[in-house]
Amino acid sequence: MSSIVVLFDFDKTILDIDSDNWVVDELGSTDLFNQLLPTMPWTSLMDKMMGEWHVQGKTIEDIIQVLTRAPIHPQIVPAIKAAHALGCDLRIVSDANTFFIENVLKHLGILECFSEINTNPGFVDEGRLRILPYHKSFHGCTLCPPNMCKGKIIERIQSTFTTEKRKTIIYLGDGAGDYCPSLKLVEGDYMMPRKDFPVWYLICKNRHLVRSAVHEWTSGEDLEQILLHLINTVISTGDMKKNVDNTSQLFDCKFETTALGAFAKPVVVPH
Ligand SMILES: [Mg+2]
Ligand SMILES: [Zn+2]
């Protein structure tokens, strides 16, 4: 089992854009969307848009076509593949929906890299897409939108960790909805906010409230470099600890120090 869990937001983190806005714009419904937005929650509006498109004769295949054209930085897929190859447990925590995310990740050839997708349910029902809220009743968090509290998802994931083998979380995100989960991270975890995006501003304003280390990123290149560096740091620290555990059973403390320097192996990043 991997000791590192990497949690990815989806919109404006894996994809360079917001998938909901992208599909609405590409299907020519921007005006209608903006007109209805003040009248209902985002997820309900997305569900309503799906109904509109169905009536207009737009098919599920049309939506998939639009999704597969969504812009993504060229280093994101290599970064995800490398993190997976290094043995990390990768999961999605997103306010998009399962239908969009699965189709995009499948198209990019990286769906199998992820062990879990936490998002709003999206499914085809009689030729029309349905989008439902992640939480069926109010989650009780005032920081988050009514349909989803990502902090609650982090707490659920953390509750599966055993005390003797604590896992390290690396969290990547950009939006205001990624702030609540950043408050759930603990010392030893890593938060990677996208610089100049809402979560970055919120963290900068409340830096003392975030207990994890914070590493900002701007481009897909940064994301790849910083993420792989953090993963390698956690892996080599773990290796050193293992060496200490093994050697301390056999040798005295003086030798242990030597062994540590001599045997801690560098980890090569595959490219
Ligand atoms: Mg996002
Ligand atoms: Zn929350």
Identify residues whose C-beta is under 5 A from ligand 2, the ion: 141, 143-144, 149, 151, 180
Would you state the pLDDT for residue 244?
66
> Tell me, what's the pLDDT at 245?
59
Residue-range definition of the domain harbouring residue 10: 4-223
Confidence of residue 257 (pLDDT cuts 50, 70, 90): very low
- CA–centroid distance, 184 to ligand 1, in Å, is 18
Q: What are phi and psi of 181, to 5 degrees?
A: -65, -30
Residue at 131 is within a domain: yes
How far apart are the CA of 157 and the centre of ligand 2, in A? 14
Distance 179 CA to ligand 2 centre (A): 8
In a domain, 159, yes or no: yes
Q: What is the pLDDT of residues 208-226, one digit of tens each?
A: 999 999 999 999 999 999 9
234 located within any domain: no
User: Looking at the predicted structure, is the pLDDT value of residue 228 above 50?
Assistant: yes
Greater pLDDT, 52 or 239: 52
Domain count, the chain: 1
**What residues are designated binding site?**
9, 11, 20, 95, 174
Q: Is residue 259 part of a domain?
A: no
The least confident of 76-90, 125-139, 246-260 is 246-260
Q: What is the pLDDT of residue 239?
A: 77
Instruction: Tell whether 228 is covered by a domain.
Output: no
Q: pLDDT class for 246, splitting at 50, 70, 90?
A: low
Question: Model confidence over 44-89: pLDDT tens digits?
Answer: 999 999 999 999 999 999 999 999 999 999 999 999 999 999 999 9
Give the total residue count for the chain.
271
pLDDT tens, residue by residue, 15-27: 999 999 999 999 9
Average pLDDT of the chain is: 90
Query: Is position 141 within any domain?
Result: yes
| pLDDT, tens digit (0-9, with 9 covering 90-100), for 160-200 | 998 777 899 999 999 999 999 999 999 999 999 999 999 99
Percent of the residues in the chain that have a pLDDT greater than 70, as a whole number: 89
CATH number of residue 115's parent domain? 3.40.50.1000
Alpha helix (H) residue ranges in the chain: 19-26, 30-36, 42-55, 60-68, 76-85, 98-108, 150-158, 179-184, 198-205, 220-250, 253-263
Longest CA span, the chain: 76
> What is the pTM (predicted TM-score) of this model?
0.88
Residue 256 inside a domain? The answer is no
How much is the pLDDT for 242?
73
Residues assigned a catalytic role: 9, 11
Does the residue 266 lie in any domain? no
Q: Is the dihedral of CA 193, 196, 199, 200 positive or negative?
A: positive
